[in-house]
Each structure stands twice: as structure tokens, then as C-alpha cells.
Amino acid sequence: MNFDLTAEQQQIRDTFARFCDERIAPQAAALDEAHAFPRALFGELAGLGLFAMRYPEADGGAGTGLVEFCLAVAEIARGSMSLAAACTMQSLMGTKFLHMLGDADIRSRLFAPALRGERIGTICMTEPNAGSDLDSIATAARRVDGGYVLDGQKTWITSAPVADFFTVFARAGEEKKLTIFLVERDFAGLVVGREIHKMGVWALPTSEVVFDGCFVPHTHRLSREEGDGEAHLRKTLAEIRIVTAAMALGVARAAAAEAVRYAGERRQFGKPINRFQAIQFKLAEMATDLEAATRLVHYAAWLYDAGRPHHKEAAMAKLCATETAATVCDKAARVFASYGYAMDYPVQRYLRDVRFTLIGGGTSEILKLIIAKGLSA
């Protein structure tokens, strides 16, 4: 593929880069320390059309490709991983199944307002005993007159404390297979539980969600048939992995840039520390590794947009980019030495936040299994 950006792609990247520099970066530390959902910036990004990018123009979207979306998300993550993660949830997992499977009423009441940032959506898959192992999902949906009753517990639900609707994976039917349901915030039996306090992405609220006899009308079973949930989910996993990789690139670029800046300012033994070979090696390694990871992520996104086989490459991109980003953030903190451990500089936030990308979309160990399987296919 040609790695040169088109004029449209360059414009998209420049637009979000400018927004990051002017609006996100100046507020990022304060947002993080407030541990509060960045609602104002979230709304401003909706106004820029971010949430509509991945949907067809006929449905109120912008019809842009995954490459373009990754360019935008990486710039947002460069300013704030919390904001990037919240926006990614809204743009993809939080709204995708409503677009794919929702009826006209759901699309007009929830999907369309979500693209405008007026409603917030999230997805409920992970459970206390079910992460990578989808077969262990235990939330049950029992059929009753007019719909279903959901019982079960979900955890690590992004944006749950502020969400207006929840896409829920539960087991239904005689064969107890995964089925997709839409639960609105005011449904009786939906309980947003305790908030999970994390080491990073502090401005991204995450909590447990409990379904205690929660009645869901038949119109809110998004699945066309009971048990088709896993098939729909697997169609979206590659997209999620590639976008997570792009977020990792964004925060790593921020860390690398801070390291370069600091190395030019900090003086030891009468000269800037960027004159010492030990520091030069770190900076060179960070730049090289980031360039390689960026190429792989863009290639995977390009394959996706071109409709070519991409699942193995999506796993490779996520594995490479997130592990690289974690290493880059660590090296950046080492350039700062003791100040890399101080809250005075943003590098400590990058080091904390980057670990978020190692988990979402599949752990590195799961990704390696997927890649190995793809090699023998």
C-alpha cells in the first residue's frame, strides 16, 4: 500500500491535531485529576463529526474509512487517553449494534442523538468470570410475555455511570447462546454498581452493572435471532483492535515528544542530556519503534477498508502497537529520571494510561494465539 496520506486524510489528521493542541492538551491534567467524565470536550468532538465518521452518510454518518478514524483517534489520545477511550466507545461498540440491528424507533431516539453527542452508549460484555473467554458469559435472558428478563452482573463497563443506553450480551433460548439486547437507563432492574478505581484513565468512569430482573421489551432484542450475538461480535473485533492500537500510538507519541523536549532542556555535567549517547539511544529507539508500529496499524486499517483479509493483521497491529507504546512510555519516563515519577510532568500519566490499551480488545497473550492460528490457516 501507499503510506502517503491523501489530502482528505491529511486534513482530518490536522483538524484533530489542532483540536488536541488547542482544546485537549491544556485541560488534560485537570480532567484526569478531577476523575470526571470530560462531557464538554466529548460534546465538542461530536460537533467535529467524530462519532459519525464510521457510519454511512445515508444514516447520518460521514462515511469515512477506518484509516481516517484511526488518524483522528490517535490525535485525541495524544492529548487524553480518557477522552479517546470514551469517544471510541461511543463511535464504535456503544452505537454499532444499534446501527446494524436497531429498528427505526431505536435509530431515531438513540442512535441519531448519539452521533450528535446528545446520548451516551456503552457495551456490556465483560463479567467477573468472563473476559477473553466468551463462553463463560453467564448473564441470562429469560423469555416472558412481551420480552425478556435479564439477570446477571457485568464489570469493567466503560462510561457506565454516564451512559444512557447499554448494549448487553446475554444467554437466551434453549441453547443458551449469546444474544444482543438494548437496555435503556430508566429500565427497572438495571443497577449501575460501584465505580472501579483504576491506576490510569482517571477521567473515564468505569463501573459494574447489575441486571436484577430487568425487563427488556421484545423490540429491544437487537439480535435478529436468539444466539446470533457471538457472530455479530466477532465481525467487530478486528475494528476494535485496530482502533485500540491507534490510541496506543497517540499516547506513545505524546510521551516520546515530551522526552525529546525534556532531554533538550535538562542539563547535567554542563550540557543538555540529549548530548549523552545513553539518552540518544533511548530517543532513537522510541522513534524507530513508533514508526514501525504506525506502519503496521495503518496497513491493518487499510486492509480493513479495502475489504481484504485482515483479522491476523489486526491482531498483529494491536499486539505490536500496544506493547511498543508501553515500552516507549517507560523509556520516556526513564529519560525524566526522578521527575518521571513526579506528578509535575505528564509523562507519569502517559505511563499509567498506556496500560489501558494492553487490555481492551484482547490481551497480548490472546492476540498471539490468534496470530499463530492465522499463520497455520
C-alpha cell at 250: 497517540
pLDDT for 312 beyond 90: yes
Neighbours of 113 (CB within 10 A): 16
The rounded distance, in Å, linking the Cα atoms of 218 and 309 is: 35
User: Do the beta carbons of residue 211 and residue 88 sit within 8 Å?
Assistant: no
pLDDT tens figures, 232-270 = 988 899 999 999 999 999 999 999 999 999 999 999 999
pLDDT confidence bin for 369, thresholds 50/70/90: very high
What is the predicted pLDDT for the residue at 115?
97
The rounded distance, in Å, linking the Cα atoms of 150 and 230 is: 18
Question: Is the pTM value of this prediction over 0.85?
Answer: yes
pLDDT tens figures, 90-113 = 999 999 999 999 999 999 999 999
What is the predicted pLDDT for the residue at 258?
98
What is the predicted pLDDT for the residue at 2?
54
**Cα of 330 vs its chain's centroid, Å:** 21
What is the predicted pLDDT for the residue at 234?
84
What is the predicted pLDDT for the residue at 360?
87
Mean pLDDT of the chain: 96
Place of cell 480518557: 82
- Look up residue 200 and give its amino acid: G
- Look up residue 138 and give its amino acid: A
What value does the mean pLDDT take over residues 323-347? 97
Place of cell 519516563: 333
User: Do the beta carbons of residue 190 and residue 209 sit within 8 Å?
Assistant: yes
pLDDT confidence bin for 1, thresholds 50/70/90: low
The rounded distance, in Å, linking the Cα atoms of 19 and 79 is: 9
For 174, what's the count of Cα atoms within 13 Å in the CB-facing half-sphere? 0
The rounded distance, in Å, linking the Cα atoms of 293 and 354 is: 15
Pairing outcome for strands 190-195 and 206-217: antiparallel
